[in-house]
Amino acid sequence: MEKGYDVHGTIRRSSVDYRERIAHLEGHPNFHLHYADLGDSMSILQVVKKVRPDEIYNLAAQSHVQVSFDSPEFTADVDATGVLRILEAVRQCDLTDTCRIYQASTSELYGKVEQVPQDEHTPFHPYSPYAVAKLYGYWIVKEYREAYDMFCCSGILFNHESERRGETFVTRKITLAAARIAQGKQDKLYLGNLSSLRDWGYAKDYVECMWLILQNDKPEDFVIATGEQHSVREFCQLAFRYAGIELRFEGEGENEKGIDVKTGKVLVEVSPDFYRPTDVVNLWGNPAKAKRELGWNPQKTTFEQLVKLMVEADMAKVAVERAGERVRTNLEEYLEKGIVK
C-alpha cells in the first residue's frame, strides 16, 4: 500500500475473529477484502475475475510443518492444488499477458539436505507432507511459465520471522515465553529439537524481495535467505538474554535443559511432543542470485536485531496484558465492594 497499490486480500469465513494482524489496514480506501478459499476454485475464479489483478502474491497455505503430519490431505489440497487453482483462474480470465504471479515456495523443499548451503541448483528432497505439497506448487508454477508463457515465479524463502509470527512457530514461541517468564507469567518453556539449524531472516525484508521478484525483467525463481545459520538453542539463549535472563544449557537430547544462571531454575525443557516424524535440521541458504540480480540486501536486518525486535515486541505485549489484568482485578474488587455498579 505504501507503494501506491490497491491491495485486495482474501479471507476465509470463520465464526471467530482472526484478523488481528490486518486490523490496522481495514477501512483504508486502498485495502479490500474478499471471501475466498484456496480449496474452493470457484471462489478464486470469482475474485480474479472481479479484481483483474496486475500482481498476485500467493502467501496462503497450511504453513505449519508439524501440523502437516496430522492433516496431510488438507495440506496437499491447499498447498499443492491451491496453487494450480490460482494459475488456472488467471488463465481462464485471459490475464496471462498482464498478471504476474508470485508463489511462496520454501526452503523446506531441500528437506533432508543434499548440499550445504542451498541455492537455486541444489536438488530437492522434501521431508514432510507440507514440503511434498509445496514441491507440486513449485513445479506447477514452472510448468505454467513454460507452457503458457506466464510471468509466474517462486521465491524459495528460508524461515522469515517477525513480531507478527504465529505463536506456534519456534521463534515466536520462544520470544513470547521469554517475555512471559521474565515478567512472572510463565514458569517454563517446552521445546523440541534444540539442535535444529535454520537460516532466519526478517519477514519485512523478505516481502520487499517478493516484490522485487515480480518487478524483474524476466520470470525466474530465487532463493531468499540471509546466508547465516543458527540453532534453535542459540535463538533461545539470545532471546532470553534480551529479556534479561542468562541461560546455560546442560545435558543432551531429551534431557537437555536451559537453566537460569542467576537462580539455578530450569526454564527450558525438551518435550518429545514437539519432535516431528521426519525433521529438517540443516537449512542454510545462499542468496547470491537475489543479491546480484535483484540488488537485494540479505543482511539488512541482522540475526541479533531480529531476535531483539521480536523480544521487545513481546515484552511490551506481555506488559500490556498484565496492566489489563490489574485493571480487571481492581474493577472486580470495586464491583465486589459495591464501589462501582
Residues 74-93 that bind ligand GDD (CB under 6 A): none
**Shortest Å, Cβ 275 to ligand GDD:** 7
Count how many residues are written for the chain: 341
The answer, yes or no, to whether the previous bond of 117 is cis (omega within 30 of 0) is yes
Among 41, 43, 58, 106, contact with ligand GDD (rule: CB under 6 A): 106
Pairing of strands 55-58, 100-106: parallel
Active site residue 254: no
**Shortest Å, Cβ 190 to ligand GDD:** 7
Catalytic one among 130, 202, 206, 242? 130
**Shortest Å, Cβ 66 to ligand GDD:** 6
Residue with cell 516484490: 211
Q: Is 168 in the site for ligand GDD (CB under 6 A)?
A: yes
The burial of 143, by beta-carbon neighbours within 10 Å (0-12 exposed, 13-18 middle, 19 or more buried), is given as: middle
Among 152, 170, 181, 315, contact with ligand GDD (rule: CB under 6 A): 170
Longest dimension (CA), the chain: 74
Among 169, 234, 256, 317, contact with ligand GDD (rule: CB under 6 A): 169
Q: Is 107 in the site for ligand GDD (CB under 6 A)?
A: yes
Binding mask 173-212 for ligand GDD (x = CB under 6 A): x-----------------xxx--x-x--------------
Binding mask 226-255 for ligand GDD (x = CB under 6 A): ------x-----------------------
Q: Which residues contact 301 (CB under 8 A, 6 or more apart)?
A: 201, 202, 204, 205, 309
Residues 68 and 319: their CA atoms lie apart, in Å, by 34
**Shortest Å, Cβ 241 to ligand GDD:** 19
Q: Is 69 in the site for ligand GDD (CB under 6 A)?
A: no
In the bound state with ligand GDD, the residue whose beta carbon lies nearer, of 168 and 305, is 168
Residues 124 and 122: their CA atoms lie apart, in Å, by 6
**Shortest Å, Cβ 68 to ligand GDD:** 9
Residue 336: alpha-carbon gap to chain centroid: 45
Active site residue 10: no
Active site residue 275: no
Helix (H) or strand (E) holding 10: strand 7-11
Alpha-helical regions (H) of the chain: 41-51, 65-70, 72-76, 82-92, 129-148, 170-182, 203-215, 232-242, 288-294, 303-337
DSSP state of 103: E
Binding site for ligand GDD (CB under 6 A): 63, 65-66, 106-108, 158-159, 168-171, 173, 191-193, 196, 198, 232, 274, 276, 279-280, 283
Q: Which residues form the catalytic set?
A: 106, 108, 130
